[in-house]
Amino acid sequence: MPPFKDEQIIIIAPGSETTVAQLGLPESFTPARLRVRSRMFPAEKEGEWEPYKVRRRIDAVGKKSMAQEEVDEINDMKKTFGESEDDGIIYEEDPISEEGAVWPISEGRIVNWTCFFALMTHVYNTLNPPFHTPILLITQPAWTPREHEKLTQFFFEKFKTPAFSLLDAAIATSWAYGTHTSTVIDVGKGKVDVTAISEFLPHGTGRVIALPGCGGEAMTQRLLTLLRSKGFTREMCEQLKKNPICEILPVGTALPGTADASAQDAITNPAAAASTGATASGPGHRETAAALGIAPRGPGPDTDVGDEANGDDDNEGVLDVASIVAGGKMNEYLARKDKEKQDKAAAKKKGTDAASAQSRPARLPNSKRERATFMYEDHLLLDTLKGMNLSSKGMADAQAALDEGPQRKNQDAEQGDSIVEQRLAIEPNGTIDSAFTSAHTGPIRREIEVGIERFQAGSGGILERIADAIYRTISAIEEVNKRSELWDSLIICGNGSKIRGFKDALMSTLQTKYLISPSSATIFTSELPSNMSTPAGTGTNTPQPQLAPHGTSSSQVNPLLLAATTAQNPYLLPPGGTALPSMHSHNAHSSHGQTPTSIKIAKPPEYFPEWKDVGYDEAAFLGAQVAAKVIFIVDQGLNKGYMTRPDYNDQGPTGIHYYSL
Amino acid sequence: MNIPNASTVPNPNEYAGDEVSAIVLDPGYSTTRAGFAGEDVPKSVIPTYYGVLDSESGSEYLFGENAIHNPLRNLEIKNPWSTDGIVENWETATRVWEYAITSRLTGAKQTDPIKNGLNDPLNGDPDVEMEGLDDAEKPLTDSPLLMTEPGWSSTKAREKYIEIAMEDWGTPAFYLGKTGVLAAFAAGKASGIVIDIGASMTSVTPVIDGMVLKKGVQKSPLAGNFVSNQIRLIFNQSQPQIPLTPHYVVSSKTPVDAGVPSQAIYKTFEIPPTASFRRNEEERVLTEFKESVVETWAGPGRFSNGTNEELAKATPGRPFEMPDGWNQVFGVERFKAVEGLFDASAALFDAENPRPKDEQTIPRLVQAAMQHVDVDQRPAILAHVIVTGGSSLLYKFNERLNSELQAMFPAPRIRLIAPGNVVERKYGAWIGGSILASLGSFHQLWISKKEYEEHGPSIVEKRCK
């Protein structure tokens, strides 16, 4: 077998929400090129799956329920698209809709195997690899050895891959960071995995696998619980969560002052208005439709999504909800909206007057502001519009009328722009939403205001449960002496951890709950120089005597010297500038056998410029790139880093357990 | 491509056994261990404690580490074992064990998509569902199963084991091994005396040529949980009382002076979690206390003989901080928690925790076990004193045990075999089972499904001695 080359390697990282993949290793590692949402749609035939929603309609039925001019329009369209008129059944792919989608991975576990395999096939075909491509699959910790065998069998037999290897997501992350001992906290959509890794080997016992109810979805749900009374939908909360105005503040940070009642009354609630006007008139709020918010993220030049997205608006036809938004109701809504806008403008004027009267400083940071607004991309509304059989012009007009995006941008350049910019900055793959390039094909945007609820996504015990899981994982490590090293290099990754302030808040939760401070009872007073103040008792400015873990021998080193040389690392300070009690001093040399005496976040790697820009939330993919390079290119199978086809033929799927680094 | 060299793993075909992919299940009081035969660590170690959530719609059972540490109202934490080392609640024990196997070894059942709420049930593939149901009924249809049992389990219990494996799990082959023998195998010995200090039970098992000397098996409740209770007594009896606060009640802590009441911010619960939940969480703090503070008096002689206590006072104390920030240095007290294992008169006691009997202490157990061993076999046995079990990891425990045994059996040479590797010490019986089940020559010992169907559960008495 000829050696593998960089450009032949496929890496696939399946996730509950997004599956990322890439063909070929670039010179300098970049974030994954292909991103697909991890869902498939059941096809006509039982057990088969389609990557996009396929709508099947019998045209004749549609005709009856339609007004004549609409039918004409459809016919026009059909002519344009070269469809034969007498074909009774129309199939059409809707690349954005997620109605009826099946998500094969849930909480990190594969719950629907045929669907999962179909997803893998779709990813593989989208990458369109040449022959002789080895595959590296990133596995979730929740997958069991038996499931690994099942996957091995599938990949060898379906794709005839010449070589295949599995890599645990947590190990991949530690490869990315290049730290041999670390604690990887992977915050996903529906779950959190906590893995203690020493010498690049994960500790199986005590590993917290798929802790439910702590991922990104849990935070969305938390926001929804808080905001439901204000007319928010899950989709709004999902977008709010991804917006930089949504932030988790470190433990003990006071929320910006409570709103005075009068202000609250005066503020119109566009969210509520919208949901009574158009949004709620859709066919109920489907769970699946909610996830639409980030749908356009996928399309790129190298996917087939991009091509279809454009023709879609004109083509999209007769979903049978037309009667609801059609007719006078939309105009009513628009009229009301207009009035609202004027009111608001007036209110805003007053507001700015008041503001300037107060002559407040330039701009408050988000965490100090009581209220903030964000752009909500209303896909549901767009779907409804699509369903109204509007001509392309009518569609564009309606969209333009409903879309608050561009106008708002002009009106409120300061805020809107900054949000857009920030938004772009946090987009993980740098693909700009089509919405910003062409206003009329993209989703309809509306501005929504939220109060202090936006700081409470992590409330309700989510952070504490994650913190407890970390504590449990590290406490389960048998080698007691390794624990403090594990506490000193935490890696918080996963797209669920992207929410602003999450990592800092988690760190401050850990620090306030678990950090062991030096005991004042062991203060070593006899060697204190006279110019030092008497020990205050908290041990903050007093050096500690150094005792070996079991107190059998005290250190030979002068404790003062020791304390002086191991002065507090400023990195230890809780991030976010919160004034926590100064309890971290000197605990790097505490006499405690207990851990943690210090908690630190591992330093991310710096030599991958492309990754540095987008952040290391998907570090597992970077690690997989490093690993793929090592096992397929450098090592070439000498250390049995991967299973080859002959190996598979010899040993069958169970052999996979012998091939890993 | 794979040129074998000294460092490559031997081809699985070259040594027998691994193709069978047997599963080894080692149920214990505190944790249940499960993994594949031939591996050196159990892949699945789950708490045997489970949660029961009572609601109007019936009780929900929660298994696994992730589920039992949530301070939910009404969450009761229970254990299927009775405190004297016998399975009490077979139904839930079966479910706990099954969870240990399916959660991390064979895979979850396929019925999940309906419940997870993400997938529309309409789209479920009926074929998959059917397969799932089959799996759900018989989780182990393609793996032989080796289970461990304590040396004192009754015939009835042994028959129950094989019934569960064959009927409930559908395993194609089964074997039942005694923890004592397996721990000896893990240490590479066929004869010896195994001292297993677990969570609820300490047992002493003489093993001769791979067979348990059944009448010599001794057990006593002086084990890990006893040490925990001793620590609780130390906390309660000290002046002022030491508050034992589990993590879940603390919202954030502030450093305070040693011995000063804590200034933590506590959580408020509308309905506080149950007492059993609190106790289980307190146990985690006590485990930490055992790891970082508790020390065994290494000997020679007992701790309470007067001079030793004075000596101990001279050693520096060890600080401990509670989850709420309360901290103190523990001096002589830290020796007292374990002393009861060796010296019943030194054990603390109160109304709920009666003073242990003299014959329950570890040295006396060894003595009693040796009484049943033929005199000419004693030297061979005493040359392999195998120490295993998680509670034997108490600091300096082995030094003390050694000195006690030396004093008791001065004539034949005593050699303590206690692996320094923590994993090997904790999972001794499991590792022995893993070795045994992966041996090619072991194949003939399996009880096959056919044999079971022919002879019924009583076959276990004949085949697994």
Cβ of B141 under 8 Å from any chain A Cβ?
Answer: no
Residue pair A601/A492 in contact by the 8 Å Cβ criterion: yes
Cα angle value A553/A556/A562 (rounded, 5°): 115
By CA distance, what is A465's nearest residue in B? Answer: B70
Closest partner CB to B12 (pick from A113, A581, A651): A651
| Helix-strand-coil split of chain B, %, nearest 5 | 40, 20, 40
Containing B47, the helix (H) or strand (E) segment is strand B44-47
Cβ contacts of B62 within 8 Å, gap of 6 or more: B50, B51, B52, B53, B68, B75
A578 touching chain B per CB within 8 A: no
Instruction: Among A36-50, A248-262, A451-465, A468-482, name the one with the lowest average pLDDT.
Output: A248-262
Which one of B14, B15, B70, B118 makes the best mutation probe of the A interface by having the most chain A beta carbons within 10 Å? Answer: B118
Distance spanning both ends of chain A, measured CA to CA: 21
Residue B234, number of CB atoms within 10 A of its CB: 18
Nearest to A210 by CA among A104, A105, A101: A105
In A188-329, beta strands by DSSP E? 191-198, 201-202, 208-212
Contacts of A521 in chain B (CB under 8 A): 257-259, 317, 319, 327-329
Considering only CB atoms, which chain A residues are within 8 Å of B23?
none
Beta bridge partners of A447: A375
d(CA B459, CA B120): 48
Task: Name which of A4, A105, A146, A585 to mutate to probe chain B: the one with the most chain B Cβ atoms within 10 A of its Cβ.
Answer: A146
- Minimal Cα–Cα distance from B458 to chain A, Å? 32
Q: Range with the lowest mean pLDDT among A131-135, A311-315, A348-352?
A: A311-315
Residue-wise pLDDT for A359-401, tens only, equals 444 567 777 777 888 878 777 776 666 656 556 666 667 666 6
Tell me the two tokens of residue B96. Answer: 């706990």
Interface subset of A 256-295, CB within 8 angstroms of B? 287-288
Nearest by CB to B258, from A468, A519, A655: name it. Answer: A519
Task: Express as a percent the part of chain A with pLDDT over 90.
Answer: 22
3-state secondary structure of A625: helix
Query: Within the 117-136 window of chain B, which residues sit less than 8 Å (CB to CB) from chain A?
Result: 117-120, 122-128
Instruction: Count how many pairs of residues, chain A against chain B, have C-beta atoms within 8 Å.
Output: 190
If one counts every other C-beta atom within 10 angstroms of the C-beta of residue A164, the result is 24
- pLDDT of the residue at A337: 61
Contacts of A222 (CB under 8 A, 6+ apart): A456, A457, A458, A459, A460, A462
Whether the CB of A112 is below 8 Å from some CB of chain B: the reply is yes
pLDDT band of residue A257 (cuts 50, 70, 90) is: low
Domains in chain A, CATH or no CATH each: 1-52+95-177+608-661 (3.30.420.40), 53-94 (no CATH), 179-265+292-299+451-516+600-604 (3.30.420.40), 306-341+372-442 (no CATH)
Q: For residue A609, what pLDDT is reported?
A: 86
Which of A144, A538, A654 is closest, CB to CB, to B105? Answer: A144
| Residue B42 sits at the chain A interface (C-beta within 8 Å) | yes
Please give the Cα distance from A250 to A367 (Å, whole number). 11
Distance, CA of A69 to CA of A50 (rounded, Å): 33
What stretches of B150-301 adopt beta strand conformation (E)?
173-178, 192-197, 202-208, 211-212, 218-220, 250-252, 265-266
Expressed in angstroms, the distance from the first to the final Cα of chain B is 46
Per-residue DSSP letters for B2-32? ----TTSPPPTTTSSSGGG--EEEEE-SSEE
Please answer yes or no on whether A512 and B318 come within 8 Å at the CB atom. Answer: no
Tell which residue, B101, B81, B78, B103, has the closest CA to residue B90: B81
ipTM score: 0.88
Q: Inter-chain contact B118–A287, Cβ cutoff 8 Å?
A: yes
Helix (H, G, I), strand (E, B) or coil at A440: coil
What DSSP element (H or E) covers B76?
Answer: strand B75-78
CA distance A197 to A203: 6
pTM (predicted TM-score): 0.78
| Cα Rg of chain A, angstroms | 28
Q: In whole angstroms, how far apart are CA A588 and each of A541, A585, A596, A599?
A: 14, 8, 9, 10
Would you call A594 and B288 a contact, using CB atoms and an 8 Å cutoff?
yes
CA distance A107 to A38: 12
In angstroms, rounded to a whole number, what is the distance separating the alpha carbons of residues A621 and A633? 17
B426 interfaces chain A, CB cutoff of 8 Å:
yes
Contact A646 B1 (CB under 8 A): yes
Chain A residues within an 8 Å CB radius of B246: none
DSSP A15-31: -SSEEEEEES--SS--S
- Name the token pair of A412: 């409120």
Q: What is the DSSP letter of A168?
A: E
**Could you give the CA distance from residue A609 to residue A188 in angstroms, rounded to a whole number?**
24
Instruction: Round to whole Å and give the CA distance between B434 and B41.
Output: 9
Kindly report, residue by residue over A519-552, the tens digit of the pLDDT.
Answer: 776 655 334 444 444 444 444 444 444 343 443 3
Confidence of residue A263 (pLDDT cuts 50, 70, 90): very low
Burial call A315-328: b when 16+ CB within 10 Å, e when fewer: bbbbbebbebbbee
Q: How far is B255 from chain A (nearest CA, A)?
A: 6
A174-212 in b/e burial notation, b at 16+ Cβ within 10 A?
A: bbbbebebbbbbbbbbbbbbbbbbbeeeebbbbbbbbbb
What phi-psi label fits residue A614: left (phi over 0), alpha (psi between -120 and 50 degrees) or beta? alpha
Q: Which of A206, A551, A594 sits opposite B316 (nearest CB)?
A: A551
Residues of A numbered 403-442 whose beta carbons fall under 8 angstroms of chain B's beta carbons: which are they?
none
Q: Which token pair is A61? A: 């039925």
CB–CB of B142/B413 below 8 Å? Answer: no
* Backbone phi, psi, residue A374, to 5°: -145, 160
- A463: buried, middle or exposed (CB in 10 Å: 19+, 13-18, 0-12)? buried
Output the pLDDT for position A312. Answer: 36
pLDDT band at A268 (very low <50, low <70, confident <90, very high): very low
Q: Rounded to an integer, what is the distance from CA B423 to the centroid of its chain? A: 12
> What is the model's pLDDT at position A391?
61
Radius of gyration of chain B (CA): 24
Q: B69 or A418, which is more confident?
A: B69
The residue-averaged pLDDT of A209-222 equals: 88
Counting Cα atoms < 13 Å in the Cβ hemisphere of B236 gives 13
- For residue range A487-496, list pLDDT tens digits in order: 999 999 998 8
**Chain B residues near residue A534 by CB distance under 8 angstroms:** none
Looking at residue A70, what is its pLDDT? 52
Chain A 522-551, CB below 8 Å of chain B: which residues? 522, 537-540, 547, 549-551
Span B196-249, pLDDT tens digits: 999 999 999 999 998 999 899 999 999 999 999 999 999 998 888 888 999 999
- Tell me how far the alpha carbon of residue B160 is from its chain's centroid: 20
Structure confidence at residue B419 (pLDDT): 86
Test mutation, A49, A97, A98, A102, chain B, max B CBs within 10 A: A102
A639-658 residues touching B, CB cutoff 8 A? 640, 644, 646-647, 650-651, 654-655, 658
CB contact under 8 A, B36 and A145: yes
Inter-residue contact B130 to B415 (CB < 8 Å): no
Q: Which of A103, A212, A521 sits opposite B329 (nearest CB)?
A: A521
| Integer Cα distance of A655 and B16 in angstroms | 14
Is A340 a residue whose pLDDT tops 60? Answer: yes
Average pLDDT, chain A: 70
**Interval A77-113: pLDDT, tens:** 555 554 444 456 777 777 777 778 899 999 889 999 9
The pLDDT profile of chain B, 465 residues, written as one tens digit per residue, is 445 554 555 544 444 444 557 999 999 999 999 999 988 899 999 999 999 988 888 888 999 888 888 888 888 999 999 888 889 999 999 999 999 999 888 876 544 434 433 344 444 444 444 444 444 467 788 889 999 999 898 999 999 999 999 999 999 999 999 999 999 999 999 999 999 999 999 999 999 998 999 899 999 999 999 999 999 999 998 888 888 999 999 888 888 888 888 888 888 888 888 999 999 999 999 999 998 899 888 878 788 777 888 888 888 888 899 999 888 888 888 888 899 999 888 888 888 888 888 889 999 999 999 999 999 999 889 999 999 999 999 988 999 999 999 988 887 788 999 988 888 999 999 999 999 998 888 888 899 999 999 999 999 998 887
Confidence of residue A252 (pLDDT cuts 50, 70, 90): confident
Report how far residue A204's alpha carbon sits from residue A217's, in angstroms, rounded to the nearest whole number: 26
